[in-house]
Amino acid sequence: QEHRNLPFMRELRYLFALLVGSKRKYVDPSRAVEILKDAFKSNDSQQQDVSEFTHKLLDWLEDAFQIKAEEERDGEKPKNPMVELFYGRFLAVGVLEGKKFENTEMFGQYPLQVNGFKDLHECLEAAMIEGEIESLHSENSAKSGQEHWFTELPPVLTFELSRFEFNQALGRPEKIHNKLEFPPILYLDRYMHKNREITRIKRDEIKRLKEYLTVLQQRLERYLSYGSGPKRFPLVDVLQYALEFASSKPVCTSPVDDLGASAPSSGTLPAQTSPSTIEQQGPSSSDVPSTSPVQRSVIHKPFTQSRIPPDLPMHPAPRHITEEELSVLEGCLHRWRTEVENDTRDLQESISRIHRTIELMYSDKTMVQVPYRLHAVLVHEGQANAGHYWAYIYDHHQNRWMKYNDISVTKSTWEELERDSFGGYRNASAYCLMYINDKEQYLIQEEFNKETGQMLVGMDTLPSDLRDYVKEDNKRFEKELEEWDAELAQKAQQEKLLSQIPRAPAPSPAPVQAGEPEYLEQPSRTDLSKHLKEDSVQAINKALAEQEDRGPEAIMDT
C-alpha cells in the first residue's frame, strides 16, 4: 500500500494544484489514472462499477493520510482528514429472533435504493427502517427488524443512488431510469438518534394519514369513474346526461324523409315512392313488344319494401312523461348533481389537506436544525454496460451551478440540473449526490492571509511545494508554446521558399528505336521524389546561405 497509495496521493495533489493554477486549457490526469488502472487490473473495454471505484478511492486516500499521520504524530492520536470529512456513524437498533440489539457502525457513502420511490426522503425513510418496525416497541415479539439512526454526520455527506439492478431473466444488469427528485436543501433532523422519539410519533401519524388518504382516494375514484362496464364516466356527467335526456322533447319524423332530404336530386327514385305505386305503373309501351302480352318482372328493393316505422324520434327523448313527473325528476337530478359536486370537491380538498399535512410534518422548528446543502451531482448517461459521465458543482461564491463535462466547463442552472439528474426524461440521471453541512462555513469560505488579512485566491492558496510545481509546469507550457510558434514559423518559411523555386521541366521521353518494344521501363516515382527532394534541399540551402547575414524579418519578406 505504501508503494501505491502514497504515489497516488502525490499525483492527486499535483492534479488538484494544476486545476487551481495551470495556464493550460485542460489538465492531463494520465499519471494518476495509470496507478488506478494497475490497481484495478481490468480489461480496458470493461467498465468498472463507479461505486466500487469511489469506495476504493476513498480507502486509498484514507490509508495514505493514515501512513503520514502515524509518521508525524507526537504521542497524540493522529487525525485523518478523510475520516473527519467523509465518514459518519449510525446506530442500528433492532430485534433479531426476539432479542434486541444495538450496534454502532461507520459509513462513508450511504447507499440508497431508487426503484419504487419518488424523492430522496422516501429513499432515506426506506433505508432507515428494515423489517417489522412494530417489533421494536413490543416485548414479546418474535419478529425481526431494525432502525438506523444517525449519531454523527460527516461535513461532506455522500449518497450513492443504486440505479443499476441485475435482471435475472435476461442475465444482465439494467439501469433504472425512474424519476427521483432531490432538494437543494436537505434537513436530516428526522434521521438523527437524538430525535428518534418525536420522529417515531410523526412516522405513526404519517402512517395513519396515508391509510386515511387511501380510503379517500378510493371514494373519489368512484365519483370520477362511475359505472360497472369497461367505459366509465364521472358521476356528475352521468347525472347531467340523465337530466338532458329527461328534459328533451321527442320530435318524430320518418327516416325516409331524412334520407330524401340528404339524397341527390337526380338519378334516384322519389323517396316516398311506395311498392304499390311501382306495381301499378307497369312497363312503358316502348319497352314491351306489340305482338307479345304484357309481362311484369318482380324487382326486389329491400329498403323501400321493408317495413319502416312511420315515425321515430330524431334524438333520444322520453316518449311518455307528464309535466308533474318531469318536474319531480328534474328536481331530483339537479339536487343529486349538486350533492355529487359538493362531495367530490370535499374529497379533493380533504386529500389536498392531508398531502399538505404530510409535507409539513417535519417543518416545525425542532426538525430544521440540521441543514445540508447540495454541493455536487454526478450524472451518468447511457445504459448499465456503458455510458458517459459528467458533474454539476455549485460555486458558492458566484451562487451558480457549473457543469463539468470533460474539458468543457460551462455555467449552468438548477433547471438544467433537474432535467439531467432527476431521471425519467431520457437515459441521463444522477447516481451520486454530495451534500455539505450548511452550518460548516469553513468548507466553502475563502482563505485569508494570517499576516496581511487579504483574501487568498488562485496560486496563493497552495502550499509552497505545490506552488513551485505549478510554476514549473507553466514554464514548460510557455516553452512548448514558443517551440510550437517557432515550428510554425519554420514551416511557413519553407513553404514560401518552395513556392519561389521554378519547377524543372519534365524530361522528354527517349525516342523509341525501331524494333524495340513499346513498354520500355519508366523511372519509378521513388526516384523522381528523391531527385525533387535533393533539388529542393539544395535550393533552400542556397537561399539561406545568400541571406544568412539578414534577419528573419527580411527572410520572411522575400
pLDDT digits (tens, 9 = 90+) for 93-104: 888 877 888 899
Please state, rounded to an integer, the average pLDDT across all residues of the chain: 79
**381 part of a folded domain:** yes
d(CA 444, CA 372): 13
**278 part of a folded domain:** no
Total number of domains in the chain: 1
Domain membership of residue 439 as a residue range? 87-192+370-443
Q: State the average pLDDT over residues 74-85.
A: 79
d(CA 42, CA 36): 10
Q: State the average pLDDT over residues 129-148.
A: 65
Q: Are strands 387-395 and 400-405 parallel, antiparallel or unpaired?
A: antiparallel
d(CA 536, CA 518): 33
Identify the residue whose cell numbers are 487525525: 79
**417 part of a folded domain:** yes
Which residues in 241-396 belong to E strands, given as ranges? 252-253, 312-313, 371-382, 387-395
d(CA 191, CA 127): 10
Q: Which three cell numbers stand for residue 255?
A: 327516416
pTM (2 d.p.): 0.70
In terms of Cα–Cα distance, which of 241, 218, 423, 408 is closest to 316? 241
In terms of Cα–Cα distance, which of 405, 49, 348 is closest to 220? 348
**258 part of a folded domain:** no
**132 part of a folded domain:** yes
**348 part of a folded domain:** no
Burial of 150 (0-12, 13-18, 19+ CB in 10 A): buried
Answer whether 226's CB lies under 8 Å from 239's CB.
Answer: no
What is the sign, positive or negative, of the torsion defined by CA atoms of 254, 256, 260, 264?
positive
Q: Which three cell numbers stand for residue 486?
A: 517557432
Q: Which three cell numbers stand for residue 261?
A: 332530404
Q: What is the pLDDT of residue 300?
A: 56
**401 part of a folded domain:** yes
Per-residue pLDDT at 426 exceeds 60: yes
pLDDT above 70 covers what percent of the chain? 73
The two counts, helices (H) then strands (E), for the chain are 15, 18
Collapsed DSSP state (helix, strand, coil) of residue 152? strand
Of the listed ranges 344-353, 354-363, 529-538, the one predicted with least confidence: 529-538
Burial of 234 (0-12, 13-18, 19+ CB in 10 A): middle
**CATH no. for residue 131?**
3.90.70.10
Q: What is the pLDDT of residue 444?
A: 83
Per-residue pLDDT at 551 exceeds 80: no
**101 part of a folded domain:** yes
Per-residue pLDDT at 279 exceeds 80: no
Give the residues across from 382 on adjacent strands.
387
Give the residues across from 380 on adjacent strands.
389, 429
